Amino acid sequence: MVSTPGGTMAAWRLTAYGAPVSLQEVPVPVPAEGEVLLEVTAVGLCHSDVHLLDSPEPMAFDVPFTLGHEVAGTVVAAPGDPALVGRAVVVHGVWACGTCDRCRSGRTNYCTGRGRAVGGGIGRDGGLARYAVVPVGSVVDATGLAPEVAAPLTDGGLTSYHAVATAADRLPASGGRVVVIGVGGLGHLAVQVLRATTAAQVLATDTHPPALDLATRSGAHVVGTPDDLRAELAPHGGADAVLDFVGADATIALGVDLLGPGGDLVVVGSGGGSLDFRKGALPQGVRVSAPFWGTAEELAAVVALARAGHLVPEVEVIGFDDVPAAYERLRRGGVLGRLVVDPRHTGPPAGSSVTTRGQGGR
């Protein structure tokens, strides 16, 4: 049933770690001063949701909460700023305190004052419902973008953008070579961010063959197996940076293997892999980082890239009732690009309403 503000609504929630995603009837939230109420128009499903659901140990975030941290919506109530009503927005997912040293120096994604919850969908109620309340400071204007395109920008796009920015100072003026491992919801946007913001040659690998085609559509110059990439990089002494969107033992080892001296290993994926961080076991001068998400300012830059046509998320739109099956697909592997839920669409599986946005040659 479609609900209206003031009543109740159905929400897909994390109720216990290790338990399946659960559909619960909850009150439509009421925005306080400093918050806005969104009608959710699209929510991307991230592999991090699967990590949350499947966590064998309780994580830091108190349950229950509504999942969905890649949110696009329309403002329907804004107590402190009525002019916002009607605006199409996306939500910056790290609900930072704004006053700690990190926030004051512009690194809001590394806020030390926000408490345990990260934001909506990760410790607080997120977007897998008809309505969501978010801090007014978290909304970024997304006018002109289709909701299913806008939603994946908030994590898939933003985390990729921040990861590329993390490595940017290691790239030579001539461009250099950057490897993307794992061309999924995040990785295909990382390829596009690299093409849009750097002069690097982009090499990509994935164990799922259709993801290699997606890498090519996204603008990668070289796609293939790890051996293909190794052969391509050998004459150049290795890669300048490796962005690992899997983070498993095998991909971290592959990243170290493909890096040249003075290179940058950027581990974004939460695959639980570890690295033998011994001098001598790593290329000389290697830098290793594990960046987290990005800032609201970076999200605005990502939205601008999308408006300019440089970022085109490849999405498959599904209905609200299809969420458990969609998480199962993500868990099994084989999803291409991003699965995006339209919470306004309920009923039988969408099937024919699936839309895939090809990029054309770039």
Q: Kindly list the residues in this chain that would bind ligand NAD in the complex (CB under 6 A).
A: 46-48, 51, 155, 159, 181-187, 205-208, 211, 245-248, 250-251, 268-271, 291-293, 330, 333, 335
Find which of Zn ion, ligand NAD, none residue 212 binds, CB within 5 to 8 Å per kind.
none
| Spatial separation of the C-alpha atoms in residues 258 and 248, rounded to whole Å | 15
**DSSP structural state of residue 122:** B
For residue 112, report the phi and psi dihedrals to the nearest 5 degrees: -100, 0
Can you tell me the distance from the alpha carbon of 124 to that of 121, in angstroms, rounded to the nearest whole number?
Answer: 6
Q: Which of residues 119-158 bind Zn ion (CB under 5 A)?
A: 155
Q: What amino acid is encoded at 78 in this protein?
A: A
Q: Give 208 or 344: the residue with its C-beta nearer to ligand NAD.
A: 208
Structure tokens at 57: 């140990």
Is the Cβ of residue 51 or residue 344 nearer to ligand NAD in the bound state?
51
Q: Toward ligand NAD, which CB reaches closer, 88 or 122?
A: 122
Q: Minimum Å distance from CB 122 to Zn ion?
A: 8
Which residue has its beta carbon closest to Zn ion?
46
Minimal distance, residue 360 CB to Zn ion, in Å: 27
Among candidates 232, 275, 231, which has minimal Cα distance to 253? 275
Least gap, CB of 291 to Zn ion (angstroms):
13
The nearest distance, CB 330 to ligand NAD, in angstroms, is 5
CB 241 within 8 A of CB 232: no
With CB cut-offs between 5 and 8 Å by kind, which of ligand NAD, Zn ion, none does residue 350 bind? none
Which residue, 338, 334, 332, is CA-closest to 316?
A: 338
Query: What does 125 bind: ligand NAD, Zn ion, none (CB cut-off 5 to 8 Å by kind)?
Result: none
Nearer to ligand NAD by C-beta: 93 or 176?
Answer: 93
Cβ at position 71, least distance to Zn ion in Å: 11
Tell me how crowded residue 105 is: count the other CB atoms within 10 A of its CB.
9
Packing angle between helix 296-307 and helix 156-167, nearest 10 degrees? 110
204 binds, among ligand NAD, Zn ion, none (CB under 5 to 8 A by kind): none
**Strands 123-124 and 131-135, how do they pair?**
unpaired
The yes or no reply on residue 48 touching Zn ion (CB under 5 A) is yes
Q: Does 52 bind Zn ion (CB under 5 A)?
A: no
Contact between 46 and Zn ion per CB under 5 A: yes
> Are 158 and 299 within 8 A, CB to CB?
yes
Rounded to a whole number of angstroms, the minimum distance from the CB of residue 158 to Zn ion is 9
Q: Which two tokens stand for residue 52?
A: 């949350």
- Cβ atoms of 122 and 71 within 8 Å: the answer is no
Using CB under 5 A, list all residues that contact Zn ion.
46, 48, 155
